[in-house]
Amino acid sequence: MNVIRHARYADKVMRIEGALAVSGVGGGVLLWTQAAYFGGYGFAAAAFLALGGVNIGVKAMRNYNRYLRGAEGEEAALAALLALPDGYSCISNFVVPGTHQGDADLIVVGPFGVLVVEVKTFTGHYACHGDAWFRVHDDGVRQPLRSSVTKQLKRNRKAAQHYLVDCDSQSPVYAIAVFPDALKLDCVHPTAPMVRLSGLADHVLSLPPAPGGLDTAPLEALFGPTQSREADTSAGREPSPGISS
């Protein structure tokens, strides 16, 4: 299977959040240790700034860890897709030209056409009803998520469809949301397909061939091979992380 990697938006954010975490916590702690040398209002101001810096650093570290889990989830999904035979390609972190949307986690190109893959690294217990998503706490209380997994997936699929139409491609476009095997997930009337990580490769192989056949080479080229290589799955080697600038 051919692997094409684009620059990952999360990597840029992680560098920023990591710097904020270190500077916020480190600067806040340093200022706190010096606050005792200030008297009166100076001490209060220094203490306030120190606590603010630590708070900013802690939030940045949480964001860093969230993006890190997402990146690890994408790599796990890519590793699962390495089982696909020749004739399939996987593109990571592709941003549709001319859009302001984030990048698609993974795009698989094969005899069926194009599959947009959204990878989620949720842990614990989640539920959805249509396009509404919730985190389920131990006491059974459902906390609504700020964003909908299925709406996000459908937006990415529609963006890919429009892009292919603009490129005069008639390829079918599918979409799938991927979740960890251990996740507890309760869904009622989901509006988009979902699969566990262990079943991702089988799902791709089950997609029907495009009517009339499909030449995947020009289709793959539309997703811009910045750096690609053939994955030597027989030797158990994974593609090197070729990130373009």
In the chain, the DSSP E strands lie at 2-5, 89-94, 104-110, 113-119, 125-129, 132-136, 142-144, 173-179, 184-188, 194-196, 228-230
C-alpha closest to that of 136 among 145, 239, 146:
145
Encode pLDDT of 64-86 as tens digits. Answer: 666 677 778 888 999 999 989 98
For the chain, which residues make up each domain, given as ranges? 2-6+72-235
Least confident residue range of 2-6, 108-112, 142-146: 2-6
Give the rounded percent of residues in the chain with a pLDDT score beyond 70: 68
Give the pairing type, strands 132-136 and 142-144.
antiparallel
pTM confidence score: 0.74
Q: Which residue has the tokens 């340093």?
A: 30
Confidence of residue 40 (pLDDT cuts 50, 70, 90): low
54 contacts 25 by C-beta, under 8 angstroms: yes
